[in-house]
Amino acid sequence: MKKEIKINKELAKKVIALVDKGLVSGLGKQEPGKACVEAVVCMAMGLPHGDNPPCVGANVRSFKISLNDCAWPSNEDRTRGMRKLAIAQLGSNEIDQNKFLQVLGFKCITTILPVIIENAITEDKNNEFCKKQNKELKPLIKKLRTAKDFEQAKKLADKAWKIYASASAYAYAYASAYASASAYASASAYASASAYAYASASAYASASAYAYPEKNLIFNLKVLNMTAQAGLEALIELKSPGCKWLDLCD
């Protein structure tokens, strides 16, 4: 008989204590300070080394692993950025996983994409080739931030991508990640809207981090932290059980 593991404050305390030892990219080792965020939860639960704790929902897990493995400037930044998510995700297997992706995708499209576009416009302000594209992109920024629902946000994001993909060398990494994410969405077994939401979130988080990492460390960290915040807000909105212990992170 499998041992029943309770999702409670004591477990949350164990998780935050282990997270504060440090997180790394990839699965890592079953040692404090040398594991990824999901492996830390398994460690706190007394489970074998792995990245699939049973108390974390499948889509929440996919998002968390994707974000954990992005190119954070340092493991210290990764740890600070992920620590609240590590607690909020506990018990997330009880929430609607497709709804999580839709809420997350909406937040990423309406908060992170405008910031990425604004940054690209600034980077390319002296590029003659980009002036026309940037002129088209500027009116979209306000529309993205004020989108009323997921479907409207998705249409605006598609429009922005079509303009942005050919805008500049700076945009290339973003466009490539977006294309890869869209391919994932098309092949996914999830409902198309939810798959798109996950794909968008991953693209926005990773593309910026890998585009000129040495030049844009501060901006990359900003985007990654914004993505973590979007995930946290989605978990809070959907009442993931772990959110009741977020005060442990203060």
Of the ranges 48-57, 96-105, 111-120, 224-233, the best mean pLDDT one: 48-57
225 compared with 181, residue with greater pLDDT:
225
Q: Hey, which residues does 28 pair with through a beta bridge?
A: 35
The pTM (predicted TM-score) of the whole model is: 0.85
| Amino acid found at 52 | N
Q: Rounded to whole angstroms, how far apart are CA atoms 190 and 150? A: 16
For the chain, the distance separating the N- and C-terminal CA atoms, rounded to the nearest angstrom, is 37
pLDDT of residue 182: 44
- Cβ(127)–Cβ(218) under 8 Å? no
pLDDT of residue 187: 39
Q: Rounded to whole angstroms, how far apart are CA atoms 139 and 163? A: 12
